[in-house]
Structure 1
Amino acid sequence: MSRVLIAGESWISQSTHIKGVDSFTTSTYVTGVEPLRRALESRGHQVVHLPAHLVPGQFPGDAGELSAYDVVVLSDIGANSLQLAPEVFEQGRPGADRIAALRGWVGDGGGLLMVGGYLSFTGFEGKAAYRNTALHEVLPVELLPEDDRVELPAGGSPSVLATGHPALGGVTGAWPSLLGYNRVRPRPGAEVLATLGDDPLVAVAEYGSGRSAVFTSDCSPHWAPTAFCEEWDGYAQVFGGLVEWLSR
């Protein structure tokens, strides 16, 4: 059993309703973590979810806090949310360099998985911004300097290059189509296990005494349709395999 922290995979949406000369707004809180949480828990892993709005104030700040986990998953949560704790952003006081702490923790034996989304890798309009951080060197891929999203509204079929790799959890057969991903480039020395088109979908690498991995599409809609994240038995095998490989 691995202890897994999933940071991100939640959001707040606000709508404006205009009726003649009057208008009002409504807000909803949404989580996208449940398919991933269920998949990992079905394989016996202990999962803690840190929603996106709590990341700035509560993400682990040093190796001691990170040691409570075997694997950290960053999913659709930008670098600013990790870097800008309230005391730094709102009060102008020095705080913990949490991305540097995460890099050091991986180098000392931790496992890091980044899952794709509009605020992963470089992200929508470059706002995820991991390319400019110390975490970039930890990833098994190199990030683009511009908006890296590739939308596939008609669907794209993954190609598996390393079926027998343990990080894929023993999954066999064709994978369901995906509706988009973040474009990245493989880093020298990394293993690309699956692709979408000519780009990495799943890649893994060693980093110091630890390991890192990426899944460049999403773990929930819209890029991961229900046929992928709810109806496909291989979903739990792939993400379970990644977590188990990362935690050795």
Structure 2
Amino acid sequence: MKPVLLAGETFHVTSFASKGAEVGAFSRYSNGATHYIEALARENIAVVQIGGERCEAEFPTSLEALAAYSVVVISDVGALSLLYTPETRAGRRSINRLELLREWTAKGGGLMMAGGYTCFQGIDGAALFHGTAVEDCLPIEIGAGPDGLEAPEGLDPVIDRPEHPTLHGLDAPMPFVLGMNKVHVRRESEGETLISCRYRDLNLPLLSVRHYHQGRSLAWMTDIGPHWLSQDFMQWNGYDRLMANMVRWLAREI
């Protein structure tokens, strides 16, 4: 299998400490995908990561460049980070990378979007994938407003399609999650929900898949790492297999 391209999952945290008249500033850099990348490595799947702060300059801008990858995973990075290019900043025409991803998927690529504060429409509505070409090829529909759901009480996944290849070899029950993005189910001919979570009077899709022209797409509506993905889930012996199964299904290896 060719490598997986992971876009996003990095962030800087800047904090200020005030002690009377003295104010100190501190910054740290975090990568939320470390456990995910290690899990895929244990399954013999290589990952090339482009952190969110590097997407503007480094994310592929052609079908030829995307052809180096079996699967593209967009995780916790918003639409603007993919739309902006160095040419855009300079006031010149450039490529629309969301349209590029739709075309690449339609021609046989495998596209995955994972959840988080800055994916789908986002916790505060700023991820902005609603109404884009990427949404067109996903197995779910994204609402126009904020879609982040915090659930400190835990949401228990319910497997709706245990026969699907992405769920083969997993031990039940699947551990709880602590939050997710609330999205809308497409009609059955355009998407299939494999796992859902019950929240109040709603059945929310957690994992959905779709055949899109010659390609495939997958939406995982919670994190691939903490905090929405609970410690119980990350330590579950099915975590590695589930993450690898998603990638292998998208790459047509299962």
Scaled to the shorter chain, the TM-score interval is: over 0.9
- SS of corresponding position for 1:155: strand
Tell me the equivalent position of 1:215. Answer: 220
Figure out how many residues of one structure are paired with residues of the other and give that number. 246
Q: Write the letter of the residue equivalent to 2:205.
A: P
Q: Is the 8 A contact 1:17 1:23 kept in 2?
A: yes
Q: 1:2 to 1:168 in 2, by over 3 A?
A: farther
Tell me the equivalent position of 1:175. Answer: 174
Percent identity, aligned pairs only? 37
- SS of corresponding position for 1:105: helix
Q: Is the 8 A contact 2:40 2:240 kept in 1?
A: yes
- Greater Cα shift, 23-32 or 40-49: 40-49
- Deviation for aligned residue 1:64: 0.5
- Write the distance in 2 (CA, Å) between the matches of 1:114 and 1:132: 15
- 1:19-41 residue CA offsets vs partner (Å, 9 max, x unmatched): 10110211000001111111111
- 1:137-183 residue CA offsets vs partner (Å, 9 max, x unmatched): 11000111110011101111110111121022421311111000000
Q: Is the 8 A contact 1:166 1:245 kept in 2?
A: yes
Q: Which 4+ residue blocks in structure 1 deviate beyond 6 angstroms?
A: none
TM-score, normalised relative to structure 1: 0.97
- Write the distance in 2 (CA, Å) between the matches of 1:128 and 1:160: 28
Q: Is the 8 A contact 1:163 1:171 kept in 2?
A: no
- Deviation for aligned residue 1:87: 2.2
Tell me the equivalent position of 1:238. Answer: 242
Q: 1:40 to 1:2 in 2, by over 3 A?
A: farther
Is 1:69 matched up with 2:69?
yes
5+ long unaligned stretches in structure 1: none
Q: Is the 8 A contact 1:169 1:242 kept in 2?
A: no
Is 1:224 matched up with 2:205?
no
- Write the distance in 1 (CA, Å) between the matches of 2:181 and 2:83: 22
- SS of corresponding position for 2:130: helix
Q: Is the 8 A contact 1:163 1:170 kept in 2?
A: no
- Deviation for aligned residue 1:218: 0.5
TM-score, normalised relative to structure 2: 0.94
- 1:109-158 residue CA offsets vs partner (Å, 9 max, x unmatched): 00001000001101022111101211111100011111001110111111
- Deviation for aligned residue 1:238: 1.1
Give the alignment of 1:31-180 within 5 angstroms.
31-88=31-88, 90-180=89-179
- Write the distance in 2 (CA, Å) between the matches of 1:124 and 1:157: 20
- 1:184-241 residue CA offsets vs partner (Å, 9 max, x unmatched): 1111121100001101000000001000001101011110122212x11111111111
- 1:60-119 residue CA offsets vs partner (Å, 9 max, x unmatched): 11100100001000000000000011320x211111111111110000000001000001
